[in-house]
Amino acid sequence: MKSHNSTPAGAAGPIRIVNGRIHDPANGIDGAVRDLCVESGRIVESAPVGARRIDAAGMVIMPGGVDIHCHIAGPKVNLARKLQPEDHRRDPHPGTLYTRSGTGGTVPSTFATGYRYASLGYTTAMEAAVPPIGARHTLEELHDTPVIDKGFYVLLGNNIFLQRLLKEGRRDEFRQAVAWWVNSTKAYATKLVNPGGDEPWKGKRNANVSDIDETNEVFGISPRQIIDAFVDAVHEMRLPHPPHIHCNNLGHSGNYATTLETMKTAGDRRLHIAHIQFHSYGGQPGKSPSSAAQPIVEYVNAHPNITCDVGQVMFGKSTIMTADAPLAYMLRNLKKNKWVNADTECESGCGIVPFSYQEKIYVHALQWAIGLELFLMSADPWRIILSTDHPNGGSFLSYPKLIRLLMDREFRKEEIKRVHKKAISRTVLADLDREYTLNEIAIISRAGPARALGLRNKGHLGPGADADITVYDDDADRERMFNAPRYVVKSGRVVIDDHEFREDFSGRLLHIAPEYDATIVQTVRPFFEDYYSIEFDNYAVGDSFLHDHEVIPSRPA
């Protein structure tokens, strides 16, 4: 077996990249030609004599891509892999002299996931939904995902113990327990999915909540109370990323009202709305949806505390995988296909539905158009981040095509002609002439997500930044361009060199370690002993379990 873990970051020699046009929006550089120097895994002011020289004449240079929301590791991802063996057969990922083999499809194996992200110029990706009890397994899988740096968000919005603390008004203990849970799982951020809905639904099918102010049957508190408590706790702890929220009512007609109320709950505190496209639908519940991109964009535009990722739908095969178990249950019969719901004790639910989005189906075409409306009507590219909610809206491999749809009006108009006409006519997409610039693409795929995540050394190319760099041939066909970078540098190592993988590399785990009052452990322990299938002492992930990792500090006061 080939060695997967190569030499640590920084062992590669210095590099000077010359003659390329640099797009580094965080440092105000929009296409200027200047030298970019790398040494010991970092961007530096100048490289010593004898540094490797890369001539990037005619090429475009950006920081490595940062995916703020994808599903690439953990229990539900494995369930989706097991459910679709045909995907593995259809799309093998052969090894090379430098890289290991894997399988592809919409839910690639760990190895294929890392290499395929790198092959698009992405160097960081965040797994967006892991139940705490799945943390250990997730960390092992992330360690096995080559090249990229990575982290995960821990699911806490249907956690029975935390909801009990809230119901009893024990807000300080709640905050300590959130910090303990994040710490004990080595997570990067807190994640809420259908807050307050899954746990009651697991006991009784019609017990999911349908309104942000509806009190759930099990705990006697509402989604809004849960959201407010998390926004508060994360704000007080100054965690680098705000609560990452999958709102209630995903996919339902008229759900934009819930999305607006969720954002309003945050007041002026920071909040991230995940895959906002899936939460921007007008119309009456139970009836055909329409676009509500307009009121959603207006709210986001006017509130700088809000960031979101789009969750663009792309036509073709996808896999719906979500901790929103009631949603997966609702979608199970749409495809007359296999599906699965799974329970995660005391913490979350989960559902998987293999899916495909089709141009000629009204709802799919509408979803596609709404995502593009959101991108094209947004006033601040820093806060509307590129994602397909991989693999829910489509594979991350469709990012280059999505970038072309945003940058190339003529191409977009041709694509619009192929999709359901009535759906398009119920949006303003056909009237939107905006074309994203290269700098705006660098913002929505690099600088913006890095800033929203509080990753100060990523998403830019200033001195001290991680030397995560992508060099693309400047090609008028932006899909072709973003599909095949000429060079990808990860932590100072030229992993892709003249379009070819030239070495393997293990990225780091990015996580946070908020402080907590140690006495909270005594409060949590009895609950475990009463209800969990594992011993409390076997639950927390110890530091000794970590491989190469970096603790990201809290935001400065």
CB of 128 to Zn ion, least distance (A): 5
What is the separation, in whole angstroms, between the first and last Cα of the chain?
A: 48
**Beta carbon of residue 351, minimum distance to Zn ion (angstroms, whole number):** 12
Minimum CB distance to Zn ion, residue 443 (Å): 21
The nearer residue to Zn ion, 130 or 488, going by C-beta atoms, is: 130
Q: For residue 451, give Cα distances in angstroms to 134, 149, 456.
A: 27, 16, 7
| Smallest separation (angstroms) from Zn ion to the CB of 84 | 18
Which is nearer to Zn ion, 279 or 493 (by Cβ)? 279
Angstrom distance (rounded) from CA 371 to CA 81: 27
Q: How far is CA 193 from CA 128, 243, 319, 322, 371, in A?
A: 10, 11, 18, 8, 20
Is the bond leading into 391 cis (omega within 30 degrees of zero)? Answer: yes
Report the residue number, 59 or 142, with the smaller CB distance to Zn ion. Answer: 142
Residue among 176 and 392 whose Cβ is closer to Zn ion: 392
Residue 379 exposed, middle or buried by CB count within 10 Å (0-12, 13-18, 19+) = exposed
| Binding piece for Zn ion, criterion CB under 5 A, among 204-212, 297-305, 382-390, 518-526 | 382-390
**Residue 311, token pair as written in the block:** 């969750």
What span, in angstroms and rounded, lies between the C-alpha atoms of 48 and 484? 30
Q: Which of 157, 485 has the CB closer to Zn ion?
A: 157
Give the SS3 label for residue 223: helix
Residue 44 phi, psi (nearest 5)? -130, 165
CB of 193 to Zn ion, least distance (A): 8
Stretch that binds Zn ion, among 41-49, 120-128, 191-199, 474-482 (CB under 5 A): 120-128
State in angstroms the smallest separation of the CB of 549 from Zn ion: 23
How near is the Cβ of 261 to Zn ion at its closest, in Å? 20
For residue 52, give the 3-state DSSP assignment: strand
Asked whether 187 and 130 are in contact (CB, 8 A), the reply is: yes
Residue that has been written with the tokens 């120097």 in this structure: 37
Nearest to 121 by CA among 483, 505, 462, 546: 483
Q: Is the dihedral of CA 399, 402, 408, 412 positive or negative?
A: positive
Structure letter (DSSP) for residue 466: B
Footprint of Zn ion on residues 474-533 (CB under 5 A)?
A: none
What is the closest distance, in whole angstroms, from the C-beta atom of residue 338 to Zn ion in the complex?
Answer: 20
Q: How many CB atoms lie within 10 A of CB 95?
A: 16
CB of 273 to Zn ion, least distance (A): 12
Contacts (CB under 5 A) with Zn ion, residues 391-450: none
Give the 3-state DSSP-derived string for 219-269, with helices as H, strands as E and coil as C: CCCCHHHHHHHHHHHHHHHCCCCCCEEECCCCCCCCCHHHHHHHHHHCCCC
Nearer to Zn ion by Cβ, of 152 and 487: the residue is: 152
> Interface with Zn ion includes 324 (CB under 5 A)?
no
Separation of alpha carbons 3 and 26, rounded Å: 36
Q: Map residues 219-258 to x or -, x wherever contact with Zn ion holds by CB under 5 A.
A: ----------------------------------------
User: Which residue, 327 or 450, is less far from Zn ion as judged by CB?
Assistant: 327
Closer residue to Zn ion in complex, CB, 176/322: 322
| Token representation of residue 109 | 């194996």
Separation in Å, CA 105 to CA 86, 115, 177, 318: 9, 14, 38, 9
For residue 150, the minimal CB distance to Zn ion (Å) is 15
For the chain, how many residues are written? 557
Phi and psi dihedrals of 83, rounded to 5?
Answer: -70, -20
Q: Is 128 or 182 the residue whose CB approaches Zn ion more closely?
A: 128
**Residue of minimal CB distance from Zn ion?**
389
Number of residues that bind Zn ion (CB under 5 A): 2
Nearer to Zn ion, 198 or 389 (CB): 389
Cβ of residue 392: shortest distance to Zn ion, in angstroms? Answer: 6
Taking a C-beta distance cutoff of 8 angstroms, is the pair 390, 319 a contact?
no
**Binders in 121-150 for Zn ion, by CB under 5 A:** 128
Q: Are the beta carbons of 498 and 486 closer than 8 angstroms?
A: yes
Closest CB 272 distance from Zn ion, rounded Å: 12
Write the secondary structure of 29-48 as one string of H (helix), E (strand) and C (coil): EEEEECCEEEECCEEECCCC
Residues 357-376 that bind Zn ion (CB under 5 A): none
Neighbours of 444 (CB within 10 A): 25
Q: Locate 503 and state its tokens.
A: 């070495």
CB of 12 to Zn ion, least distance (A): 34
Phi/psi-derived region of residue 164, left when phi > 0, alpha when psi is between -120 and 50, beta in every other case: alpha
Q: Which is nearer to Zn ion, 347 or 389 (CB)?
A: 389
Q: Residue 128 or 377: which CB sits closer to Zn ion? A: 128
- Please, which of residues 383-402 interact with Zn ion by CB under 5 A? 389
Query: 221 vs 321, which CB is nearer to Zn ion?
Result: 321
Q: Distance between CA 74 and CA 137 in Å, rounded?
A: 6
Torsions phi, psi of 545, nearest 5? -80, -15
Closer to Zn ion by Cβ: residue 107 or 166: 107
Least distance (Å) from Zn ion to the CB of residue 98? 31
State the Cα–Cα distance between residues 344 and 133, nearest whole angstrom. Answer: 8
- Strand-pairing partners, residue 321, are 352
- Chain residues binding Zn ion by CB under 5 A are 128, 389
